[in-house]
Structure 1
Amino acid sequence: MTHTSLASWLSYIESQHPAEIELGLARGRTVLARLNLSRPNKQVITVAGTNGKGSTCAMLTQYLCSQGDSVGTYTSPHFLRFNERIALNDSPCNDELLCQAFEAIETVRDGVALTYFEFSTLAALWIFDRSDLDYWVLEVGLGGRLDSVNMIDTDVAVVTSIALDHTDWLGDNIEVIAQEKAGIARKDKLLISGVVNPPQTIATTAQQVGALLRQKGRDFTFNADETAWSWQGAGVSFDALPIPSLPLQNAATVVAVLVYMGLSPKQHSLKTLFQTVQLTGRFQQVEVSPDVYIDVAHNPEAALELANRVDRLATLPIAVCGMLKDKDIDQVMAHLSGHFSEWFCADLEGVRGASASQLIRSISNHSEQNFNKVHGYSCVTDAFDAAILRAKEEQRSVVVFGSFVTVCNYLEQTLHNE
């Protein structure tokens, strides 16, 4: 079947499997074998974790590109355009190339029912194969062991962090979730763990598979103050590195990946990376006067990182928050309730969207904040507009957070207003 536009293809692939999520590798591997793809000139790097996957992929991609290597990067979800998911040398693919990839997959799949994510993953691999790249950087969508990204054997497995999330799919305890995420490891290949206080199942899985495990806190460490940080491991060290805009925990993991891959990163190259690296939606400043930041923090671990970022601002900012009801709203608010001067909460559309009233109830459970400082709105646009007016009155910044959906709604509004 031939479709004439990317929008048409995306509508089609959404309809080809009854479930939005169905973990498993058999369907993808069947079609992958029929595509007869090669591998990159150098290595495949696969990144799993509860938080920090996107940041880690961004830093690895931008570093490798800065060294003259060609890189294909696969991430999810996207903010405004599907093209963001599949990038060549840090630039999103064009519609024509994506359509060609979907056509190639459709030609060989012969009735195999692929999910939207499996179609997307295969499209990324097809495009990377035809682009003669040095590295493929692949972000796991959900879990690790049974995620479609794991249909291709990696050369370097990375686990960024472990926390309770997606428990319906991955299990209801940290040890089981860690085992699932470490399932991307391969025999005689590196497994770099950036997990703080790692569950034992990471080491157990590495031993069972025969992977070469390198762990934060054991094989490499980092230290930081208000202005700089340092990294130590594998007999080398880097000092006086600039604090990046992305989480420092992930930056330390990225240095470990580069060092243990044998790429011998140089001080000046790392300094440039951490001074310049950016990623949409990770405490990203997008407006000034008043300052506006966007952040996709949507679970307790990410909320702690956001709290640390917010505390570095000159004054308490104003929150614009919308969340999905299947997230741990109560713990997110427990971490953030005392870090904002005022809250503008929004309903999110769809069956997974939480109401503003749910958020307000949770905030009230964890804060003695004046009730007049917590407000509810029917959409992100209305909440943001009201927050901006207050920010101008009080000369404060605004932080839009809580979900990819919330940040997407803000970005769509901004694009519409341009």
Structure 2
Amino acid sequence: MHYGESLDYLYGLQRFGIKLGLENIKNLLDALQHPEKGYSVIHVAGTNGKGSVSAALAEILQQAGYKTGLYTSPHLHCFTERIQVNRRPIPEVDVVELTKEIRALSPGVPATFFEFTTALALVYFARQKVDFAVLETGMGGRLDATNAITPQLTLITPISLDHVEHLGGDLATIAGEKAGILKKDVPVVIGAQEDCALEVLLAQSSRLNCRPWVAGVDYTVIPRGSRFTFAAQGICLENVKTSLPGRHQMHNMGQALAGALALREQGATLTEEMLRRGVESVRWPGRLEWWGDGDFLLLDGAHNAAGAQVLADYLISLRPAGVRWVFGMKSGRKPADLLLPLLPLVTEVYCAPPPVEEAVAVQDLCEATAGQGVPCSAYTSPEDALAAALAQRIPGEIVLVAGSLYLVAAARDYLQQQDEKDL
């Protein structure tokens, strides 16, 4: 088996779809003799920001000299990005060997793609002898494959309506699913929440005797221009800068810092300088990412209503002359969730399907956009749509690529190719 064959096998597991439940992953971990027990696990759930928080906390631990695993999804360009140690993606040869090994050990387990990948990550981290592994949930929390572990710390990022067909149709119900990652006597860091979600999270924390760190209560983040002040537990970090733009990222970084302090309470060696270096050096491509050295091409993986509102707030703060939006969505998403917050800022929309198996029909996107009185053009590929938007841009305007992380990945591939041609 070579790397391509391994990916074919892994992606072939997607035929089992999304199956929330822990039976399969527990059987896999039993067969693998529980590799996750060889290191400390930090478990992160939430709707938006969990990838950024996970990356930042992993960076802080790495800056402190700890060998740190990071498991996130989806990937931006290649599968190996999902599983990293000290921010280095898993080598392809290890993907091949571990796929063969896990497949041979579990012939009777009809694992989904995410279940198998989670097991692969946990084994890889054990083989690499990591000190910590930061695991981002795939969906929800209670029945997510990553929830088969017992963590040292949990974090819940801001919760909003998303995946309602799987998690429930209101915030309180969704918060209950996210709260499923809490474990008895394990501290939890809770990001800013709507009152109904916070009530659910705090009730579960109390039932399980989890020491809660609550945004705005146990730690505070105060944005000041392009920097922020973080305060908690008798420490105050002033003029903290992060390379991730947007006020929401300051709050994400604050939650990661609070997580680091919770780990310090449990014995981790983390100085204030290590905390500062971690959030200042973290990178998370495809999320409010300005391409190259310019200030006019913005890429963002916003794909739900909450993410679109954060993106809209950021664009408003920039006061551009106009926004030319390259837009596409994966099927199952509601165009209105993104259109309503963003269209008032947009000059023209360039619709194209993201490169996924199923996407919202471009014609449906155009009809929804035109219905709001904004000019819209249809394209067969993200590359063509982006080329047209860039060609028609006038000074002072921003070209925005948003609607799907897969769309952003296609745009980044195209832009990288163009940059290489110009060398």
Alignment TM-score > 0.5, same fold: yes
Secondary structure at the counterpart of residue 394 of structure 1: coil
Secondary structure at the counterpart of residue 99 of structure 1: helix
TM-score, normalised on structure 1? 0.91
Worse-superposed segment, 45-54 or 234-243:
234-243
Q: Cα 1:39–1:323, aligned 2, differ >3 Å: closer, same or farther?
A: closer
Partner of 1:229: 228
User: Does residue 185 of the first structure (1) align with residue 186 of the second (2)?
Assistant: no
Superposed CA offset, 1:333-353 (max 9, x none)? 111112233322223466631
Q: Cα 1:150–1:299, aligned 2, differ >3 Å: closer, same or farther?
A: same
Partner of 1:310: 315
Task: Say which of 222, 239, 250 aligns to 2:252.
Answer: 250
Counterpart code for 1:296: G
Partner of 2:204: 205
Partner of 2:362: 356
> Counterparts of 1:36 and 1:380 in 2: how far apart (Å)?
44
Shift of 1:17: 6.6
Q: Cα 1:240–1:348, aligned 2, differ >3 Å: closer, same or farther?
A: closer
Structure 1: give runs of 5+ residues left out of the alignment.
Answer: none
Partner of 1:110: 107
Partner of 1:240: 239
Superposed CA offset, 1:33-64 (max 9, x none)? 11113447662101111111111111111111
Q: Cα 1:344–1:365, aligned 2, differ >3 Å: closer, same or farther?
A: same
Shift of 1:309: 2.5
Shift of 1:354: 1.5
Counterpart code for 2:240: L
Superposed CA offset, 1:353-373 (max 9, x none)? 11333333333455x54x3xx
Structure 2: give runs of 5+ residues left out of the alignment.
Answer: none
Partner of 1:294: 299
Task: Write out aligned runs for 1:113-152 (5 A).
Answer: 113-152=110-149
> Counterparts of 1:50 and 1:289 in 2: how far apart (Å)?
30
Counterpart code for 1:47: V
Counterpart code for 1:102: T
> Counterparts of 2:67 and 2:357 in 1: how far apart (Å)?
41
> Counterparts of 2:176 and 2:228 in 1: how far apart (Å)?
30
Q: Cα 1:179–1:133, aligned 2, differ >3 Å: closer, same or farther?
A: same
- Matched residues, number: 410
Q: Cα 1:351–1:38, aligned 2, differ >3 Å: closer, same or farther?
A: closer
Q: Cα 1:16–1:284, aligned 2, differ >3 Å: closer, same or farther?
A: closer
> Counterparts of 1:93 and 1:171 in 2: how far apart (Å)?
34
Q: Cα 1:342–1:287, aligned 2, differ >3 Å: closer, same or farther?
A: farther
User: Does residue 55 of the first structure (1) align with residue 60 of the second (2)?
Assistant: no
Task: Say whether the 8 Å CA contact 1:14–1:115 is kept in structure 2.
Answer: no
Counterpart code for 1:193: I
Task: Say whether the 8 Å CA contact 1:228–1:242 is kept in structure 2.
Answer: yes
Shift of 1:144: 0.6
Shift of 1:318: 2.1
Partner of 1:332: 338
Task: Say which of 265, 280, 289 aligns to 1:275.
Answer: 280
Counterpart code for 1:287: G
Shift of 1:312: 3.8
Superposed CA offset, 1:162-192 (max 9, x none)? 1111111111111111111111111111111
> Counterparts of 2:15 and 2:353 in 1: how far apart (Å)?
27
Partner of 2:397: 396
Secondary structure at the counterpart of residue 338 of structure 1: helix
Secondary structure at the counterpart of residue 337 of structure 1: helix
Secondary structure at the counterpart of residue 398 of structure 1: strand
Task: Say which of 85, 99, 109 aligns to 2:96.
Answer: 99
Superposed CA offset, 1:231-259 (max 9, x none)? 22223322222254151221111111011
Shift of 1:102: 1.2
Secondary structure at the counterpart of residue 344 of structure 2: coil
Worse-superposed segment, 133-142 or 404-413:
404-413
User: Does residue 345 of the first structure (1) align with residue 348 of the second (2)?
Assistant: no
Shift of 1:95: 0.7
Q: Cα 1:100–1:314, aligned 2, differ >3 Å: closer, same or farther?
A: same
Task: Say whether the 8 Å CA contact 1:40–1:133 is kept in structure 2.
Answer: no
Task: Say which of 276, 289, 292 aligns to 1:284.
Answer: 289
